[in-house]
Amino acid sequence: AQSVTQPDIHITVSEGASLELRCNYSYGATPYLFWYVQSPGQGLQLLLKYFSGDTLVQGIKGFEAEFKRSQSSFNLRKPSVHWSDAAEYFCAVAPWDYGGSQGNLIFGKGTKLSVKP
Amino acid sequence: NAGVTQTPKFQVLKTGQSMTLQCAQDMNHEYMSWYRQDPGMGLRLIHYSVGAGITDQGEVPNGYNVSRSTTEDFPLRLLSAAPSQTSVYFCASSYSTANTGELFFGEGSRLTVL
């Protein structure tokens, strides 16, 4: 069965420091991969996605993620964190269907990011 | 643009009561879904729909019903509320089944069952 693991429940970084949030997936083929962000009291917003091609993908708000097939990972990075980045981040996988449809999204359990001034 | 609208934002129920969480989207999206979010559990899929008149179960469907009579609306019904259904519920939609991963979320409905 497909699954997504986010090993870190909570991470604290200083404002201006770099950030890397880890995500590992379990899936037989190359899946569609996503990162979402949830600000307190809000719904989720799509940060970026990977379907195929270049393994380094750029997203909104200065985030990027790198797909590494050999490690089954899709880690999220940002070179310099801002206080407004404090939120919860979810990695997700949509299994690919031979009929051309994506399957339902499977979410990781999330990583909460706190930012120190 | 309204996007995905959920009502109510907050609700308190007593065990055994029934209620409906409303979800409407104005983007003409084909795919709609309901998730519940619980601390430490991430988001879990309850039900989803790939078009008007078509619904299916997700990971945690027990105790919930859905219907999709129009493209815009996808209400979630709790038949007989239980404390285990205390959660935050999110409705989400995407343009088509070819990109169900690119979801637009509502702001959530926080439900407490006493």
**Tens digits of residue pLDDT in A37-79:** 999 888 999 999 998 888 899 999 999 999 999 999 999 999 9
Measured between beta carbons, which residues in chain A are less than 8 angstroms from residue B38?
none
Query: Which of B44, B58, B97 has the CB atom closest to A101's CB atom?
Result: B97
Predicted pLDDT of residue A52: 80
Say if the Cβ atoms of A104 and B48 lie within 8 Å: yes
Predicted pLDDT of residue A29: 73
Nearest of A1, A3, A6, A2 to residue A75 by alpha carbon: A6
Is the pLDDT score of A100 beyond 60?
no
Find the mean pLDDT for residues A17-25: 97
Q: How far is CA B102 from CA A51, B1, B65, B98, in A?
A: 11, 18, 24, 9
Beta carbons of B3 and B27 less than 8 angstroms apart: yes
Compute the nearest-CA separation of A116 from chain B (Å): 23
Query: Which of A43, A100, A105 has the CB atom closest to B106's CB atom?
Result: A43
Predicted pLDDT of residue A86: 97
Query: Which of A43, A46, A102 has the CB atom closest to B98's CB atom?
Result: A102
Confidence of residue A3 (pLDDT cuts 50, 70, 90): confident
Lowest-pLDDT range of A46-60, A84-98, B6-20, B58-72: A84-98
Beta carbons of A21 and A36 less than 8 angstroms apart: no
pLDDT tens figures, A32-45: 899 999 998 889 99
- Whether omega for the bond prior to residue B8 falls within 30 degrees of 0, making it cis, is yes
Find the mean pLDDT for residues B74-102: 91
For residue B5, give both structure tokens.
Answer: 């609208």
Predicted pLDDT of residue A110: 96
Is the pLDDT score of A117 beyond 80?
yes
Q: Which residue has the tokens 């069952």?
A: B113
Say if the Cβ atoms of A101 and B100 lie within 8 Å: yes
Q: How far is CA A109 from CA A27, A62, B27, B90, in A?
A: 17, 23, 28, 15
pLDDT tens figures, A84-93: 999 999 999 8
Using the Cβ of B100 and the Cβ atoms of chain A, whether some distance falls under 8 Å is answered with yes
Say if the Cβ atoms of A45 and B58 lie within 8 Å: no
Using the Cβ of B106 and the Cβ atoms of chain A, whether some distance falls under 8 Å is answered with yes
Q: How far is CA B55 from CA A80, A103, B68, B73, in A?
A: 43, 14, 7, 12
Of A3 and B1, the one with more pLDDT: A3
Q: How far is CA A11 from CA A3, A8, A69, A112, in A?
A: 22, 7, 25, 6
DSSP letters spanning chain B? ---EEEE-SEEEE-TT--EEEEEEESS--SEEEEEEEETTTEEEEEEEEEETTEEEE-SS-TTEEE--SSSSB--EEESS--GGG-EEEEEEEES-GGGTTS-EE---EEEEE-
CA distance linking residue A103 with residue A13, whole number of Å: 34
CA distance linking residue A6 with residue B19, whole number of Å: 34
Predicted pLDDT of residue B41: 87
Confidence of residue A104 (pLDDT cuts 50, 70, 90): confident
Q: How many CB atoms lie within 10 A of CB A72?
A: 14
Query: Which of A101, A103, A105 has the CB atom closest to B103's CB atom?
Result: A105
